[in-house]
Amino acid sequence: MLDDFMMRATLAGIGVACAAAPLGSFVVWRRMAYFGDATAHAAILGVALALALQISIFAGAVAVALAMALTVTGLSGRGYAMDTLLGVLAHSALAFGLVAVSFLSGIRIDLMAYLFGDILAVSRGDLAVIWGGAAVVVGLIGWRWSALLTATLSEELAHAGGIDPRREQLVLTLALAITVAVAIKVVGALLIAAMLIIPAAAARPLSRTPEQMALIAALIGALSVIAGLRAAYALDTPAGPSIVCAAAVAFLGTSVLRGLRAGAGA
């Protein structure tokens, strides 16, 4: 079964959707879209360093993405507006990554695959990494779910309940770094933030509880993978961007539905 490249691509995309759904919900609730974007851009630098040091690309991407996330967390609130800080670090990391790649003359690298993904080239080994990473992310978020929700709702409420908001931020940071590392092969560094945000945003009008939103986001993400791959196969379009387009259509559909409900309620 896994000899079929479309089957491997579908399984890889669903694995990323499962990891991105619960994390993407927190990204939407906490308004951390730029934070996810900055972490994803840093992954390109991690890829370059991993190739230069001849280590696992997954390990390099996780290390640099985590370093970027921790740097942003550490520098926030020290005289810089968050959007300014994220803009500087995100674009700087991407630029340094692209420059670093240009020095790897002895190594053949398809830069477009890391920028926009190459899901159709996913191997069995990649599948193991993607689903292993997804399992870690889902387990981590599930383990800290109540604490993360409390810290997201109110830092004062978290302190009153004996929860350290900075520790929960660290959990989200680690989960984000792992998700970026496993998703870079599927949708690429430039589209990872879209897979975090769009399915979760599309699920919001259909959800009554946080748990429902995470589950519906996972379903929308998985369906977007299947629809995007089918469209890419039929129309000969890039697979990664096609998946994101499918998710965007789902967001448009749920937004229209919310508008119709609001109009009916009025």
3-35: pLDDT as tens digits: 587 888 899 999 999 988 888 898 888 877 777
Q: Which residue has the higher pLDDT, 38 or 203?
A: 203
pLDDT of residue 227: 95
Span 5-192: which CATH code? 1.10.3470.10
CA distance linking residue 49 with residue 68, whole number of Å: 14
Average pLDDT, the chain: 84
Length of the chain, in residues: 266
**Span 45-49, average pLDDT:** 82
pLDDT at 132: 92
Q: How far apart are CA 24 and CA 218, in angstroms?
A: 9
| 231, pLDDT greater than 90 | yes
> Is residue 79's pLDDT more than 70?
no
Per domain, the residue ranges of the chain are 5-192
What's the rounded Cα separation, in Å, for the pair 84 and 168? 23
User: Which tokens is 119 given?
Assistant: 């899901």
pLDDT at 259 over 60: yes
Average pLDDT over residues 227-232: 93
DSSP-H helix ranges across the chain:
5-29, 33-53, 57-75, 82-102, 111-116, 124-143, 145-153, 155-160, 165-183, 192-203, 210-235, 239-265
Q: pLDDT class for 108, splitting at 50, 70, 90? A: low
**Which pLDDT belongs to residue 247?**
94
Q: Which residue has better confidence, 260 or 109?
A: 260
Average pLDDT over residues 82-91: 77
Asked whether the predicted pLDDT for residue 252 surpasses 90, the reply is: yes
> Can you tell me the mean pLDDT for 162-176?
85
User: pLDDT class for 129, splitting at 50, 70, 90?
Assistant: confident
DSSP state at residue 218: H
Which amino acid, 37?
A: D
Q: Return the SS3 of 201.
A: helix
Per-residue pLDDT at 80:
66
Cα four-point dihedral sign 142, 146, 147, 149: positive
Question: What is residue 1's predicted lDDT score, i.e. its pLDDT?
Answer: 46
Over 50: is that where the pLDDT of 2 sits?
no
What percent of the chain stands above pLDDT 70?
92
> Which has the minimum average pLDDT: 69-83, 155-169, 203-217?
69-83
Mean pLDDT of 39-49: 81
* DSSP per-residue string spanning 129-180: HHHHHHHHHHHHHHHTHHHHHHHHH-HHHHHHTT--HHHHHHHHHHHHHHHH
Is residue 205 over pLDDT 50?
A: yes
Cα dist from 135 to 6, 13, 92, 145, whole Å: 22, 14, 31, 15
